[in-house]
Structure 1
């Protein structure tokens, strides 16, 4: 190659035969920023009735498909249903896991302390699902419980439990999955007949055994998902496995930026205890106290709404999460509780106009630096998502422009020029700002030890979300 400014990939400089030779160069074709579609990965337990083998990723497009793949009312089926309800256009992949072999299933009991006297309805809530049993009047407690058992079995496509009447005046409800997962299934029961007096456990209990998520995460690692949902927080370390995974694949060598999501439906204090342990800019815990839905459903729905916003810097405040239940008034979060949650790295939901569940502010669990000093640099989950997108945009640009270039004295300035072009385009979309003020900080220089390595420094001023407008009203008389 004799030209100082033109290089060829397919035309050798040693041609002797006369002719006019032209090749195509596509390295300069793309001048825009890359798109930013978000892919969600669900991890959850399957039932033996499902057709999909464990640890094999599969794309999911509908509720019914998920039921066929993972079993009706399985944990993974309910997660897929929640995600699709919250965002029907979500790009969804799922990896199924088997129940723990040494696990036990959680269970709960329903008792009737009298017989039915009048006609009416006995209503049973299992998680967020309600079934109604008509009462004919003057029915014995045993006949009612046997009829209720048949009704539960009739709705096995949507209920995460099985029912069994043992003839002892109690209906036993047992989780369909073995393991700790069943302990999150809440129960309610009420009757229009005041003489019936049902008594029911508040939620299932006694489920033991956890699932090792590492094989499932490894199975989907190469696919490059942006949002990964942990099915639950429990004593077996699943959420910490997810934290390790997202931090690993998002590192400077793999560069597949991802965040992890998990749902929490219990107390504020309990959730804060976990966020303090997680303390990661790549983990987000959504809090919906008093919900009768399982944490796996909450996490899946939240992840689907996160995926609906492709602008990484745009706040998610007030976005509705469709399909979530409205908690009782006593469980709805107050302002002071929401502030406490946000200061401790937990994303609270609130009931908005029209009884719609909305995100107050989407934050990560990162609140302190490695020294234990309070640090809000990665508080908003949009900050990490923005950094991931900026890295991707810069990386793709230099990959297109310099696929097999030489490192000469002119190369650093060429690379710097391309980086600056990307930064200015990002600024036009209000993803970053102050590029002109920071452009002197964009450096491209040769490494002092590796002769084939070019080092680049890119200062990035991330556009912050508009969360607070404070005003003063002056009274004039």
Structure 2
């Protein structure tokens, strides 16, 4: 006997009654992935601090974050790479205490001829024509440079210094992160001389939101960010307090009962010793951090660039290698040596590769997870792909179970029940999990392997103290991204 949802068994009125049931018709169960950009806003930004909000476009993002803010810069980097994700922002109020990082450019002599002075500032290429006609002075050149910098709309403002030819550059936001802003000369007109002092003096590591505060932000979120199956975060701040807060929240949301985690992208810029020390005291399985050797691009821009580039690839195929994915606009600094690269990968830091034309791409993205609670080394979550693919596998298992078994009765075994009864048994569940693994996860998606091992190690039981509950433990054997080929060529002169 077939069971109906809306047609009663006691019906006697003549007619043809047909239910329409779409519970088995869904094809696209994944939907559109979501990206959350997290960074500092300006007071001019219209968005409320510490609240996630959907943005409709780059213009909307800049309006809500405030032109020139860290968050607005991240939005510009993101939209320059991909428009295909649903974009949200989490604006953080800028620190009101501490000091802003500053830098100094001092023009000491004018060029012999009218030429272009070009330099990178916070990852943006700025070009200024330095005129020598009509008696142009150092003061005139300074005015032109200041105007060019302020017209770009980055998180640095320029002003004339006290001395002749001095240009003061100041980060819009207070904080030590401003010390990492890159300032690098590309070309100087012949005869023109200038001195450059890089950014320094920024103080106050922002303790903007603790773990509990971040949890409340996500728990109270009504923007729609958490509705997506796949969620990613570009984190513009990389200080220990902020990273720890996001790490704790990523673990909470990854685990039951929420089961709605995310991958986090951030960046570090500095020298080798600083990089090793930075990665050594962290243990974050859902966070990936690229490591730039005193990069020209700011850490917040770099986070947005990597997130915008890598997240779509992870979404499309969570087990595929990310090597070679282009990082449009990233200026990563000096190349690390081979020995340094290997050591960084053992310190939880990810690598980018720099081509001879100056463009950058991903070398390897790993998580910042390094060890077990007892401090013994553990590579279970080495590649950022691992937590991504396991969450996607869990989603497929959960969604299929919800579609098939909601509204059913639980029985330990099939006691010759007639077909059509809404009853789920141990064999029913076992068949479902094995079919999903073999036909969907392995054959269709290519995420897993070793079906016989999976089948032989799958254990399902009806809970001995709760007959409405089934428990199972499985051992999916996931694919790994392919990064290394090792060979040995034993040549011969004759055979």
Q: Output the TM-score relative to the length of structure 2.
A: 0.86
Match of 1:70 among 54, 65, 68: 65
Moved more, 140-149 or 246-255: 140-149
Correspondence 1:402-413 to 2 at 5 A? 402-410=405-413, 411=424, 412-413=426-427
Indicate if the aligned counterparts of 1:243 and 1:282 stay in contact, CA closer than 8 A: yes
Q: Which position in structure 2 is the counterpart of 1:419?
A: 433
Number of aligned positions between the proteins? 465
Name the CA distance, whole Å, in 2 between partners of 1:134 and 1:346. Answer: 41
Q: Which position in structure 2 is the counterpart of 1:432?
A: 448
Q: Which position in structure 1 is the counterpart of 2:324?
A: 318
Q: Residue deviations 1:204-257, cap 9 Å, x none?
A: 43343515145566434553262112212225x111111111111111210003
Q: Which position in structure 1 is the counterpart of 2:157?
A: 162
Q: Residue deviations 1:90-139, cap 9 Å, x none?
A: 33221212212334322222223456665444444322222324131665
Shift of 1:19: 5.8
| CA distance 1:141–1:430, change in 2 (3 Å) | same
Shift of 1:402: 1.4
Name the CA distance, whole Å, in 2 between partners of 1:115 and 1:470. Answer: 56
| CA distance 1:211–1:471, change in 2 (3 Å) | same
Structure 2 residue matching 1:106: 3-state secondary structure = strand
Indicate if the aligned counterparts of 2:160 and 2:168 stay in contact, CA closer than 8 A: yes
Q: Which position in structure 1 is the counterpart of 2:303?
A: 299
Moved more, 409-418 or 285-294: 409-418
Moved more, 33-42 or 99-108: 33-42
Structure 1 residue matching 2:386: 3-state secondary structure = helix
Match of 1:109 among 104, 113, 116: 104
Q: Which position in structure 2 is the counterpart of 1:145?
A: 142
Structure 2 residue matching 1:417: 3-state secondary structure = helix
Indicate if the aligned counterparts of 1:123 and 1:132 stay in contact, CA closer than 8 A: yes
Indicate if the aligned counterparts of 2:111 and 2:130 stay in contact, CA closer than 8 A: no
Name the CA distance, whole Å, in 2 between partners of 1:470 and 1:152. Answer: 49
Q: Output the TM-score relative to the length of structure 1.
A: 0.89
Name the CA distance, whole Å, in 1 between partners of 2:298 and 2:13. Answer: 74
Indicate if the aligned counterparts of 2:331 and 2:358 stay in contact, CA closer than 8 A: no
| CA distance 1:18–1:142, change in 2 (3 Å) | closer
Name the CA distance, whole Å, in 2 between partners of 1:217 and 1:348. Answer: 30
Q: Residue deviations 1:352-408, cap 9 Å, x none?
A: 475431211111111212222222121111111110010000000001111222222
Indicate if the aligned counterparts of 1:227 and 1:260 stay in contact, CA closer than 8 A: yes
Correspondence 1:176-191 to 2 at 5 A? 176-189=172-185, 191=188
Shift of 1:69: 2.7
Structure 2 residue matching 1:323: 3-state secondary structure = coil
Name the CA distance, whole Å, in 2 between partners of 1:112 and 1:339. Answer: 41
Correspondence 1:438-449 to 2 at 5 A? 438-449=454-465
Structure 1 residue matching 2:274: 3-state secondary structure = helix
Shift of 1:43: 0.6
Structure 2 residue matching 1:109: 3-state secondary structure = strand
Gapped regions of structure 2 (runs ≥ 5):
414-423
Q: Which position in structure 2 is the counterpart of 1:343?
A: 346
Q: Residue deviations 1:156-189, cap 9 Å, x none?
A: 42x3212222433332211122333422222235
Structure 2 residue matching 1:260: 3-state secondary structure = strand
Moved more, 207-216 or 278-287: 207-216
| CA distance 1:352–1:151, change in 2 (3 Å) | closer
Indicate if the aligned counterparts of 2:412 and 2:462 stay in contact, CA closer than 8 A: no
Shift of 1:140: 4.4
Q: Which position in structure 2 is the counterpart of 1:390?
A: 393
Shift of 1:434: 1.1
Q: Cα RMSD (Å) of the superposition? A: 2.6
Indicate if the aligned counterparts of 1:39 and 1:92 stay in contact, CA closer than 8 A: yes
Name the CA distance, whole Å, in 2 between partners of 1:193 and 1:146. Answer: 19
| CA distance 1:124–1:253, change in 2 (3 Å) | same
Name the CA distance, whole Å, in 2 between partners of 1:208 and 1:132. Answer: 33
Correspondence 1:53-452 to 2 at 5 A? 53-60=48-55, 62-114=57-109, 119-129=114-124, 130-136=126-132, 139-153=136-150, 155-157=151-153, 159-169=154-164, 170-189=166-185, 191-194=188-191, 196-208=192-204, 210-213=206-209, 215=213, 218-220=216-218, 222=221, 223-224=225-226, 226-234=231-239, 237-309=241-313, 310-325=316-331, 327=333, 331-352=334-355, 355-410=358-413, 411=424, 412-424=426-438, 425-428=440-443, 429-452=445-468
| CA distance 1:121–1:305, change in 2 (3 Å) | closer
Shift of 1:81: 1.6
| CA distance 1:315–1:52, change in 2 (3 Å) | same
| CA distance 1:444–1:23, change in 2 (3 Å) | farther
Q: Residue deviations 1:267-325, cap 9 Å, x none?
A: 23323323332212211111222321111111111111222211111111111111212
Matched, 1:23 2:19: yes
Name the CA distance, whole Å, in 1 between partners of 2:263 and 2:119. Answer: 37
Indicate if the aligned counterparts of 1:104 and 1:209 stay in contact, CA closer than 8 A: no
Indicate if the aligned counterparts of 1:70 and 1:76 stay in contact, CA closer than 8 A: yes
Shift of 1:21: 4.3
Name the CA distance, whole Å, in 1 between partners of 2:31 and 2:490. Answer: 45
Name the CA distance, whole Å, in 1 between partners of 2:32 and 2:375. Answer: 35
